[in-house]
């Protein structure tokens, strides 16, 4: 019996899965070939899983075993839906088209493979419904589905969580740069004798930042999550804005330049707002306007200042009158402490 058009359409979808998986493997190989990316070879092994899954799905369908194809398609649809929901929650994909296409994409193969023509073809391929034996395609798909559910899906979930955290940190860094621009404009207004916001008249950083952005005519949603340096020294790499999960005193006067900074959740310490990544990452904006996002393992003074300037050999020294406005008040930095050299 000739293969009906609905089955041919679904088979094309299966080969599309295979083609995409080949591209995924190719990308993983290209990444692994880069200098210093030896560990990426592990990603190649993981990338072969969807390739084998796609091949197994196509083999199963060609033998008339629709169940295994639809099972693999369902897993792929669930992973794609999870990625789409993450993007929608982040606000980067908020179109009606994406929300409509996803359900159609998942449901279409079920309708195509359950039509009367597909039913007759499947019965003919499997011996009039007497398909009790599992072919190589079925075994392929079954084993790979187990592998995906036990190993790949948890890794994919962790990747999505890490990607979402990284996106939030970059979003916060953009807010920090906006506040920095407002601070520059505010300082220029003071020099020109125009109306300005005096940080000395503010009791905390939230009050100061809120006044700055209101004067500038824009809005941010992180005014309560920054420590602001007042009277900073003339040093391009002095941190003028630091997220409130870092203690500026620990940053500028660490006991060890290689010691990991303590990242604390404001909600736990002083009842501030938790940002979901408080203990996982931070943001610093330097006096030259450059912002830096930091994962917890890289939040070390010498790594921060060395990554910003490879010629740097010490930690910035504050002026005697330098202090920080934090969301809970004013914090003095100990400028009389010896500055540690960077390793």
Average pLDDT over all residues of the chain: 77
**pLDDT given for residue 114 in this prediction:** 81
pLDDT recorded at residue 133: 41
Over residues 216-260, the pLDDT tens digits come to 888 888 888 999 999 999 998 899 999 998 888 888 888 777 788
Task: Give the pLDDT band of residue 54 (cuts 50, 70, 90).
Answer: confident
> How does residue 100 score in pLDDT terms, banded at 50, 70 and 90?
low
pLDDT number for residue 162: 60
Give residue-wise pLDDT tens across range 152-180.
555 555 555 566 677 788 888 888 999 99
Please give the pLDDT value at position 106. Answer: 74
**Which pLDDT does position 240 carry in this prediction?**
94
> Which one is predicted more confidently, 246 or 337?
246
Contact 239, 251 (CB under 8 A): yes
Quote the pLDDT of residue 315.
Answer: 84
Q: Greater confidence, 102 or 23?
A: 23
Domain ranges of the chain: 5-133, 168-332
Average pLDDT over residues 268-286: 82
Q: What is the pTM of this model?
A: 0.55
**Could you give the CA distance from residue 212 to residue 219 in angstroms, rounded to a whole number?**
10
Better-predicted residue by pLDDT, 52 or 103:
52
For the chain, counts of helices (H) and of strands (E): 11, 6
pLDDT at position 337 is 53
Instruction: Give the long-range contacts of residues 225-228, CB within 8 A, separation 24 or more.
Output: 225/172, 225/266, 225/272, 225/273, 225/275, 225/327, 226/176, 226/179, 226/327, 227/324, 227/325, 227/326, 227/327, 227/331, 228/179, 228/183, 228/199, 228/324, 228/325
> Residue range 27-39: average pLDDT?
59
Task: For the chain, give the number of residues.
Answer: 343
Write down the pLDDT at residue 136.
46
Residue 202: per-residue pLDDT: 93
Please report the DSSP string for 69-121 in residue order: HHHHHHHHHHHHHHHHHHHHHHTS---HHHHHHHHHHHHHHHHHHTSHHHHHH
Higher pLDDT, 290 or 135: 290
pLDDT value of residue 167 = 77
- Please give the pLDDT value at position 219: 81
Which DSSP letter does residue 153 get? H
User: Which of 198, 239, 231, 193 has its CA nearest to residue 215?
Assistant: 198
* pLDDT of amino acid 156: 54
Q: What is the pLDDT of residue 131?
A: 45
The 8-class DSSP code of residue 199 comes to G
* Neighbour count for residue 97 (Cβ, 10 Å): 8
pLDDT in tens, 280-306: 888 999 999 888 888 877 788 888 887
Q: Which tens digit of pLDDT belongs to each residue from 240-250?
A: 999 998 888 88
CA 103/CA 332 separation, integer angstroms: 56
Q: Average pLDDT in the 88-105 region?
A: 58
pLDDT band at 36 (very low <50, low <70, confident <90, very high): very low
Percent pLDDT > 90 in the chain is 18
Whole-number pLDDT of residue 47: 67
């Amino acid at each position: 019996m000739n293969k009906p058009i609905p089955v041919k359409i679904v088979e094309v979808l299966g080969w599309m899965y295979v083609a995409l998986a080949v591209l995924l493997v190719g990308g993983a190989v290209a990444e692994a070939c880069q200098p210093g990316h030896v560990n990426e070879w592990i990603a190649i092994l993981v990338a072969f899983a969807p390739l084998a899954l796609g091949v197994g799905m196509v083999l199963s369908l060609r033998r008339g075993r629709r169940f295994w194809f639809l099972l693999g398609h369902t897993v792929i649809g669930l992973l794609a839906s999870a990625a789409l929901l993450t993007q929608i929650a982040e606000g980067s994909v908020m179109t009606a088209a994406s929300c409509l296409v996803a359900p159609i994409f998942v449901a279409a193969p079920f309708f195509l493979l359950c039509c009367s023509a597909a039913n007759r073809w499947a019965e003919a391929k499997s011996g009039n419904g007497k398909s009790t034996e599992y072919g190589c395609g079925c075994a392929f798909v079954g084993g790979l589905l187990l592998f995906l559910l036990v190993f790949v899906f948890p890794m994919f979930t962790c990747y999505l969580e890490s990607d979402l955290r990284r996106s939030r940190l970059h979003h916060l860094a953009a807010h920090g740069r906006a506040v920095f621009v407002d601070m520059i404009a505010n300082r220029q207004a003071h020099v020109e004798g125009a109306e300005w916001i005096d940080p000395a008249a503010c009791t905390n950083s939230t009050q100061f930042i809120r006044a700055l952005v209101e004067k500038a005519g824009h809005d941010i949603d992180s005014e309560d999550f920054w420590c602001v340096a007042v009277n900073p020294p003339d040093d391009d790499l002095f941190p003028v804005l630091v997220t409130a999960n870092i203690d500026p005193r620990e940053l500028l006067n660490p006991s060890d330049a290689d010691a990991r900074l303590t990242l604390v959740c404001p909600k736990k310490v002083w009842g501030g707002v938790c940002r979901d990544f408080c203990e996982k990452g931070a943001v610093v904006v330097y006096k030259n306007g450059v912002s830096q996002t930091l994962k917890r393992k890289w939040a070390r003074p010498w790594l921060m200042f060395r990554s910003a300037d490879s010629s740097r050999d010490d930690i910035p020294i504050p002026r005697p009158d330098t202090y920080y406005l934090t969301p809970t008040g004013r914090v003095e930095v100990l400028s009389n402490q010896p500055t540690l050299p960077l390793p």
